């Protein structure tokens, strides 16, 4: 008897291809988990049972007929509920005023996954409008606060909250999330899974809710770095419907021959990090030294966070201008989302343009660093998952430092979260890895090297009753 729950994609795909596991049975297994366990974590907006079974039956027939499409054929997944889906399946953007919203067709990413034979089983919960209104608490989704499967009293992270929780709890083998600033990395860290933020322009956003046109990215969230690579290869690629996508071809390579990495640690990357996260980070450095060198480095001392925050606030205000002007924000869940968007009128045009010019300097300076380093490393987040009732500060607000987040998102660089232990309250800690633009294979190779030497990614929360 093969148990597909918590099975890495490559292994699961092997069983599907050899017809030891039926795509229909797989879909039924994960649909049942989504329906039974999803509400426990507030992880799910819509279970797409009818579509999933139709896609699974098609996969089963094709594989039986010898038409195997690749490693995602017949594999269930979930999509953050900001990805458009046709066929009458709502796309809520996590926000009460949009809970019944429908689109005529699928987002490009959903279409590409369907073409690869993957089976859409659920639209997953998210922070309302991907957090763009300035939320400061976990209770900022019309479906309720998503909890990490590691503790019912702690937040999943956001804004790809349900994507993180669903993978962590074994409700889906993998999920798609989005990141403007931290929205893949934060839930991956809080939920103890592996999440990849691709290079800006690697994956089409067509059909995805726009929060910030020059910062939004879509990426995979799974159990391992290898899982993320397999999914990225399917969803990456140029799309005429998204003019920011690059024609650079992406081919995932997992050839793990002998390789030494040059790891760099950015000055400021450890500022404000909690003791438990730091302890896990220091243990990870020992692992990194088995496969490479670790050296400190620095970027010029410029206000990277302030510049990227300025861009984010201005673009988010413009993306939702009509909604904000109409007073529609009063229908959102988080009380602060009812008024914070009005403050964005205070972002002046000249400051926005200046911030985009600083961003150009940032991109060049960051690229220069990668002449000396393959991968920048840091603790995944400042802390383990926040308690559910606790307010927090994030990238959208104030003067909080997050040099890796600002540079990673500002320069559009690929980033990876891998779990690296447990900290306060028994919650997952994580390590963050970042590579040069278009070097997803480098950051994934580093992730695989770590996961070949540790077993944190094989630890799963006790989800059964």
Partner 1 sequence: MTDGEAANAEVEALFALVTARYGARLDAQQREGVRKAIEGIVEQARAVRAVRLGNADEPTPAFRAYRADEPAR
Q: For residues 193 and 419, is the Cβ–Cβ distance under 8 A?
A: yes
Which CB sits closer to partner 1, 59 or 317? 317
380 in Cβ contact with 185 (< 8 Å):
yes
Which residue is listed with tokens 């300025």?
310
Q: Which of 141, 159, 160, 189 is catalytic?
A: 159
Dist CA 408 CA 286 (whole Å): 24
Q: Toward partner 1, which CB reaches closer, 129 or 418?
A: 129
Out of 210, 238, 287, 294, name the contact with partner 1 by CB under 8 A: 238
Range in contact with partner 1 (rule: CB under 8 A) among 36-44, 113-121, 288-296, 337-345: 337-345
From 92, 163, 168, 183, active-site residue: 183
100: contact with partner 1 by CB under 8 A: no
159 flagged as catalytic:
yes
Among 275, 345, 367, 391, binds partner 1 (CB under 8 A): 345
Q: Is 389 exposed, middle or buried (0-12, 13-18, 19+ CB in 10 A)?
A: exposed
DSSP code at position 94? T
> Residue 210 interacts with partner 1 (CB under 8 A)?
no
Whose CA is closest to 172, among 132, 119, 130, 134? 119
Can residue 343 be called a binding residue for partner 1 (CB under 8 A)? Answer: yes
The residue ranges of DSSP E strands in 321-385, in sequence order, are 375-379
What is the sign of the dihedral through the CA atoms of 423, 424, 427 and 432?
A: negative
* 229 SS3 class: helix
Give the interface segment with partner 1, choosing from 13-21, 24-32, 336-344, 430-438 (CB under 8 A).
Answer: 336-344
Show the tokens assigned to 149.
């499967």
Q: How far apart are the first and last CA of the chain?
A: 21
Looking at beta carbons only, is 256 or 345 nearer to partner 1? 345
Element (H, E) at 40: helix 23-41
Q: Which stretch binds partner 1 (CB under 8 A): 104-112, 148-156, 297-305, 422-430?
A: 297-305
| Binding of partner 1 by 310 (CB under 8 A) | yes
Burial class (CB within 10 angstroms; exposed 0-12, middle 13-18, buried 19+) of 194:
buried
Q: Does 152 interact with partner 1 (rule: CB under 8 A)?
A: no
For residue 271, state whether it binds partner 1 (rule: CB under 8 A): no
Q: Check the CA dihedral 147-324-398-390 and report its sign.
A: negative
| CB closer to partner 1, 2 vs 348 | 348
The verdict on 401 binding partner 1 (CB under 8 A) reads no
The sheet carrying 428-435 orders its strands as 44-47, 119-124, 76-80, 174-179, 217-222, 194-197, 415-422, 428-435, 375-379, 261-266, 292-297
Window 353-372: residues binding partner 1 (CB under 8 A): 353-361, 363
246 as an active site residue: the answer is no
- In the three-class reduction of DSSP (H, G, I as helix; E, B as strand; rest coil), residue 131 is classed as helix
Among 397, 401, 439, 452, binds partner 1 (CB under 8 A): 397
| Interface segment toward partner 1; rule CB under 8 A; list 123-131, 189-197, 236-244, 428-436 | 236-244
- The first and second tokens of residue 452, run together, are 């070949």
Cβ-in-10-Å burial (0-12, 13-18, 19+) of 290 comes to: exposed
Among 1, 88, 104, 240, binds partner 1 (CB under 8 A): 240
Query: Nearer Cβ to partner 1, position 147 or 204?
Result: 204
Q: Which one of 24-32, 74-82, 242-250, 365-373 is the stretch in contact with partner 1 (CB under 8 A)?
A: 242-250
Tokens of 439: 């070097």
Residues that bind partner 1 (rule: CB under 8 A) add up to a total of 45
Q: Is 243 in the site for partner 1 (CB under 8 A)?
A: yes
Distance of alpha carbon 158 from alpha carbon 365, whole angstroms? 29
Task: Kindly state whether residue 336 participates in binding partner 1, applying the rule CB under 8 A.
Answer: yes
Residue 48 Cα to chain centre, angstroms: 21
Residues contacting residue 248 through CB under 8 Å, at least 6 positions apart:
202, 438
User: Least distance to partner 1 from the beta carbon of 54, Å?
Assistant: 32
Q: Which is nearer to partner 1, 31 or 396 (CB)?
A: 396
Q: If binding is defined by CB under 8 A, does position 398 make contact with partner 1?
A: yes
453 binds partner 1 per the rule CB under 8 A: no
303 binds partner 1 (CB under 8 A): yes
Our CB check for partner 1 shows the closer of 134 and 264 to be 134
Q: Name the 3-class secondary structure at 256.
A: coil
Whether 80 is catalytic is yes
For residue 444, the SS3 value is: helix
In angstroms, rounded to a whole number, what is the distance separating the alpha carbons of residues 229 and 247? 18
Binding characters for partner 1, 45-64, by CB under 8 A (x = yes): --------------------
The minimum distance between CB 437 and partner 1, in angstroms, equals: 12
Query: From residue 57 to residue 96, what is the string marking binding to partner 1 with x (rule CB under 8 A)?
Result: ----------------------------------------
Q: Which residues bind partner 1 (CB under 8 A)?
A: 134, 214, 238-240, 243-247, 302-303, 305-307, 309-310, 313, 327, 330, 336, 338-340, 342-348, 351, 353-361, 363, 397-399
Residues belonging to the active site: 80, 159, 183
């Amino acid at each position: 008897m093969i148990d597909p729950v918590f099975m890495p994609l490559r292994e699961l795909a092997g069983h599907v291809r050899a017809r030891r596991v039926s795509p229909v049975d797989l879909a039924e297994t994960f649909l049942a988990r989504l329906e039974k366990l999803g509400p426990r974590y507030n992880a799910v907006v819509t279970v797409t049972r009818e579509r999933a079974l139709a896609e699974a039956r098609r996969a089963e027939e094709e594989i039986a007929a010898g038409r195997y499409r690749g490693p995602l054929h017949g594999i269930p997944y979930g999509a953050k509920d900001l990805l458009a889906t046709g066929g009458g399946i709502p796309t809520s953007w996590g926000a009460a005023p949009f809970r019944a919203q429908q689109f005529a067709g699928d987002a490009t990413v959903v279409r590409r996954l369907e073409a690869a034979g993957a089976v859409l089983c659920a639209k997953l919960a998210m922070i309302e409008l991907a957090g763009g209104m300035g939320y400061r608490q976990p209770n900022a989704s019309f479906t309720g606060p998503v909890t990490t499967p590691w503790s019912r009293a702690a937040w999943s992270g956001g804004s790809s909250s349900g994507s993180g929780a669903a993978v962590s709890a074994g409700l889906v083998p993998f999920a798609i999330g989005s990141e403007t600033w931290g929205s893949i990395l934060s839930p991956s860290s809080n939920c103890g899974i592996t999440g990849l933020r691709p290079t800006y322009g690697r994956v089409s956003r067509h059909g995805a809710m726009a929060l910030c046109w020059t910062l939004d990215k879509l990426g995979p969230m799974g159990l391992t770095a290898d899982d993320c690579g397999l999914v990225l290869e399917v969803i990456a690629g140029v799309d005429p419907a998204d003019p920011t996508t690059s024609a650079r071809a992406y081919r995932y390579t997992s050839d793990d021959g002998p390789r030494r990495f040059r790891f760099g640690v950015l000055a400021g990357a450890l500022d404000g990090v909690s003791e438990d996260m730091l302890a896990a980070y220091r243990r990870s450095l020992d692992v990194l030294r088995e496969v490479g060198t670790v050296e400190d480095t620095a970027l010029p001392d410029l206000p990277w966070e302030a510049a990227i925050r300025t861009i984010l606030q201005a673009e988010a205000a413009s993306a939702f201008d009509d909604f904000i002007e109409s007073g529609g924000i009063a229908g959102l869940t988080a009380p602060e989302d009812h008024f914070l968007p009005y403050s964005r009128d205070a972002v002046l045009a000249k400051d926005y343009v200046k911030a985009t010019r600083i961003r150009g300097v940032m991109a060049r300076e960051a690229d220069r660093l990668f002449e000396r380093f393959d991968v920048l490393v840091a603790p995944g987040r400042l802390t383990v998952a926040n308690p559910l009732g606790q307010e927090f500060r994030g990238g959208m607000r104030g003067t909080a430092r997050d040099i890796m987040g600002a540079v990673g998102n500002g320069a559009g660089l690929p980033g990876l979260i891998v779990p690296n232990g447990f900290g306060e309250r028994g919650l997952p800690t994580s390590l963050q890895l970042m590579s040069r633009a278009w070097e997803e294979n480098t950051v994934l190779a580093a992730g695989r090297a770590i996961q070949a030497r540790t077993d944190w990614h094989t630890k799963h929360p006790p989800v059964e009753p």
